[in-house]
Amino acid sequence: DVKVTQSSRYLVKRTGEKVFLECVQDMDHENMFWYRQDPGLGLRLIYFSYDVKMKEKGDIPEGYSVSREKKERFSLILESASTNQTSMYLCASSLGRRGENEQFFGPGTRLTVL
């Protein structure tokens, strides 16, 4: 079974702090994704990566950056956390150069910014 793990289930940070969310997948998938999930808005894509050191902006990249130094790991960085970044963050991965296959999701990290 594909396993996507996220470093924390719950995280509480203060405004202005630098926040790192880590995601690891164990199935050698090329593609990795970071989504934000808010009530009534579904899942919105923040960034994705289709290869090591490659990244592309999603629909809501402002205030976020990402890092993919190893194939299995994709990090989401909030350079200076703000209260409007309080949300559920979901990481996903998929096989295939062009993301033609099923996305597998991690359990999510619920981030609260005070």
Binding mask 44-63 for another protein (x = CB under 8 A): xx--x-x-----x-xx----
Rounded least distance, CB 100 to another protein, Å: 7
The CB-of-113 to another protein minimum distance in angstroms stands at 21
Site for another protein in 20-39 (CB under 8 A): 31, 33, 35
Tokens at 76, concatenated: 């989401």
- Nearest to 45, CA basis, from 64, 26, 60, 66: 60
Q: What would the x/- binding string for another protein be over residues 75 to 104, using CB under 8 A? A: ---------------x-x-----xxx-xxx
Is residue 66 within 8 A of residue 52, CB to CB? The reply is: no
Contacts 24+ apart (CB under 8 A), 54-57: none
